Amino acid sequence: MLSIHTIARAVKREVTARGALLLRRANLSPWVTYVESGRVALGIMDGDVMEHQLGVVEGPCWLEATSAVLNLPHAVDAVAETEVTLRRVPVAEFLRSLSTMSMSAQTVLRDVAKAHRQQTELAISRLAKDAEARCAEWLLQHAQTGDRGVLAVLLQQRKRSVAAQLGIAPETFSRVLRHMRERSLISGSGRTLNLVDPGGLRLLAGV
């Protein structure tokens, strides 16, 4: 997309700490954020916690510029996963730069922005199935019958990797597993999780 140097030479760099909230979902921001360096998590916040993570982007990149192109509020929350160096370009200046492009290029850009927005909103709608339901479904899909005829899941990946597949934060994944143990749906706290109540898990997963 556009080079930051063509539209924001006078915009000062900012350095934000890890954990800083860079974008707030449903807010119509007065600027467009360009990440020069650092990693940013995109998703849906619940209070101060990233409850549902949709993905991660790493600078250099524009951060959710689709919203500015379409004049819409941000579709996602964005949180710095590392220290992030960025520039905040006023929306009016950003859009002025777009207006210098040919009409055909502007049309293509808007079409791409609309498609990207639709994909993001679809991903968010899929999160309507809550974290517990997605975790239960994942456990059932990965369960194997052991020597004693008990269904169990061997965690061959780090919990952080499993959480990323489910679109939730690692802390949320750990909390859901704890709740499942408390409800006697699963047992085990190491790499092996025993499915004590597969029927209850199917009910929870809606399958």
The class of domain 131-205 in CATH terms is mainly alpha
Residue 6: band (very low, low, confident or very high) from pLDDT cuts 50, 70, 90: low
3-state per-residue secondary structure call for the chain = CCCHHHHCCCCCCEEECCCCEEECCCCCCCEEEEEEECEEEEEEEECCEEEEEEEEEECCEEECCHHHHHCCCCCCEEEECCCEEEEEEEHHHHHHHHCCCCHHHHHHHHHHHHHHHHHHHHHHHHCCCCHHHHHHHHHHHHCEECCCCCEEEECCCCHHHHHHHHCECHHHHHHHHHHHHHCCCEECCCCEEEECCHHHHHHHHCC
Question: CATH 2.60.120.10: does it fit domain 4-126?
Answer: yes
* Model pTM score: 0.61
Fold agreement between 4-126 and 131-205: no
pLDDT given for residue 15 in this prediction = 97
Instruction: Write the pLDDT tens digit of every residue in 68-88.
Output: 999 999 999 999 999 999 999
Domain ranges of the chain: 4-126, 131-205
Instruction: Write the pLDDT tens digit of every residue in 134-188.
Output: 899 889 988 988 767 789 998 888 888 888 888 788 888 889 999 999 999 999 8
Q: What is the mean pLDDT of the chain?
A: 88
